[in-house]
Structure 1
Amino acid sequence: MEDIQMMTDDAAGQLGSYRRTIDNLDSALLYILAERFRCTEQVGHLKAKQELPAIDNERERRQLDRLMSIANDVGLSGHFVEGLMTMIVGAVVERHREIAAKK
């Protein structure tokens, strides 16, 4: 018998509700990331125009410190947040370098 069939109706309803919330949050995360990347795209064009480097290590350090503090406050793993931000910033820097190479 499948797990969901073994649950009570109440538990199945709760699980469904949680899953709908998770689905909505996943969608919101993607929309937020898309907006972040639209903004960083503009930063990349400005940096290229001003001939600035694709990465500002001091800015990235300050930002990571700030986000790690938030992660601690809200109970998220610092390791997770650091990995996530490394991935996001890496994609942004790569895109900034692509933009600069076209100028």
Structure 2
Amino acid sequence: MSYDTSDQLASYRKTIDNLDSALLHILAERFRCTEKVGHLKAELAMPAIDNERERRQLDRLRNIANDVGLSQHFVEGLMRMIVGAVVERHREIAAEK
């Protein structure tokens, strides 16, 4: 690898590292918000999952995926994983109440 290629690769990797950090901070903020939702749902004896909302969200996110050039399949899998963790936490919160 030439020096210019090494520098370019290092620059790309630094950008990727920064983006990974930003993603984790955004996810942490999302989970802080969903934690509040979980407590509210528990106080109101609401179910941990809202299938209709999840359907609307997946539809909305599939459209965004198309707009930004991401695979709908990837985005759907990612969101199902995130929502699954949220629902599990909501159930834990409800069980604690």
Q: Same fold (TM over 0.5)?
A: yes
TM-score range, shorter chain: over 0.9
Query: C-alpha displacement at 1:8, in angstroms?
Result: 1.0
What does residue 53 of structure 2 align with?
59
Secondary structure in 2 aligned to 1:44? helix
Between the aligned residues of both structures, percent identity stands at 81
Over alpha carbons, which structure has the higher Rg?
A: 1
List runs of 5+ in structure 1 lacking aligned partners: 1-6
- Equivalent of residue 16 in structure 1, options 7, 10, 28: 10
- Equivalent of residue 81 in structure 1, options 62, 75, 97: 75
Q: How many residues align?
A: 97
Q: In angstroms, what is the RMSD of aligned CA positions?
A: 0.4
TM-score by length of 1: 0.93
List runs of 5+ in structure 2 lacking aligned partners: none
Runs of 4 or more, structure 1, over 3 Å off, are: none
The residue correspondences of 1:25-44 to structure 2 (distance < 5 A) are 25-44=19-38
TM-score by length of 2: 0.99
What does residue 3 of structure 1 align with?
none
> 1:23, 1:40 → 2: CA distance?
26
